[in-house]
Amino acid sequence: MKKFVVLILSIFFVLVSIFYFVPSILFDGPVRADISLKPDDQDLVVLGKLVYENNCALCHGVNLEGQERWREPDADGYMPAPPHDETGHTWHHPDKYLFLMTKYGLEEIIGQEYPNNMPAYKDILSDEEILASLSFIKSTWSREIRLQHDKINEMNK
Ligand code: HEC
């Protein structure tokens, strides 16, 4: 009888682990269902600030100001990092673009070679950390710019 219980329990645990892990393997596609920035989610924004400071600030600036003369190619012909504040064009792009750009890089998005200095973060940051960093960026924009950005998202649904 004891053996029987152990057997049933083992089967139960195997099944539970399969149901627990398989969906994450099968459904960890390139795009998660919800990749919306959440600038009003305090916890996410706090995490995002940390992620930003540790990963993005080096190029995009501690105050999101970008690199100098970011509109012109540098000596190697690469574009410098643009600002993420309102003077840049980050807010011109919908959430999905910003997320994919950060996760996979520009070449993956435009589908052609385009050597540039923006790293792809797919092996460095989790989806949540990427969303957090971008949510932090959005949280620094004025009300007007955030509303404009919401509209851009609406148009790109
Ligand atoms: C090594 C420097 C570097 C680091 C670190 C870096 N970036 Fe970038 N990023 C760039 C450059 C350069 C571009 C512009 C690429 C181009 O257009 O050629 C860019 C562009 C972008 C864009 C597109 C902006 C737009 O308006 O099109 C986003 C979004 C972005 N970066 C987010 C991030 C985030 C989030 C992080 C941190 C997790 C990060 N970047 C870290 C260099 C960097």
- CA of 123 from ligand 1 middle (Å) equals 16
* 47-86 pLDDT, tens digit each: 999 999 999 999 999 999 999 999 999 999 999 999 999 9
How confident is the model over 8-23, as a mean pLDDT?
61
* 29-53 pLDDT, tens digit each: 555 568 999 999 999 999 999 999 9
Question: What's the DSSP call for residue 141?
Answer: S
Please give the residue that has the higher pLDDT: either 16 or 120.
120
- CA of 97 from ligand 1 middle (Å) equals 12
- CB-ligand 1 contact for 102 (6 Å cutoff): yes
Quick check: 25 pLDDT over 50? Answer: no
pLDDT band at 157 (very low <50, low <70, confident <90, very high): confident
For residues 22 and 71, give the distance between their C-alpha atoms in angstroms, rounded to a whole number: 46
Q: How much is the pLDDT for 21?
A: 56
Q: Among residues of the chain, what percentage have pLDDT more than 90?
A: 76
Using the CB atoms, write b or e for 82-107: b if 16+ within 10 Å. bbbbbebebbebbbebbbbbbbebbe
How confident is the model over 115-127, as a mean pLDDT?
96
- CB-ligand 1 contact for 11 (6 Å cutoff): no
Phi-psi region of 113 (alpha: psi -120 to 50; beta: other; left: phi over 0): beta
For the ranges 6-20, 104-118, 122-136, which has the lowest average pLDDT?
6-20
58-65 long-range contacts, Cβ below 8 Å, gap at least 24? 59/117, 59/118, 60/84, 64/88, 64/137, 64/140
Q: Tell me the whole-structure pTM to 2 decimals.
A: 0.83
For residues 99 and 95, give the distance between their C-alpha atoms in angstroms, rounded to a whole number: 6
* Cα 131 to the center of its chain, rounded Å: 4
For residues 20 and 53, give the distance between their C-alpha atoms in angstroms, rounded to a whole number: 34
Question: What's the DSSP call for residue 85?
Answer: S
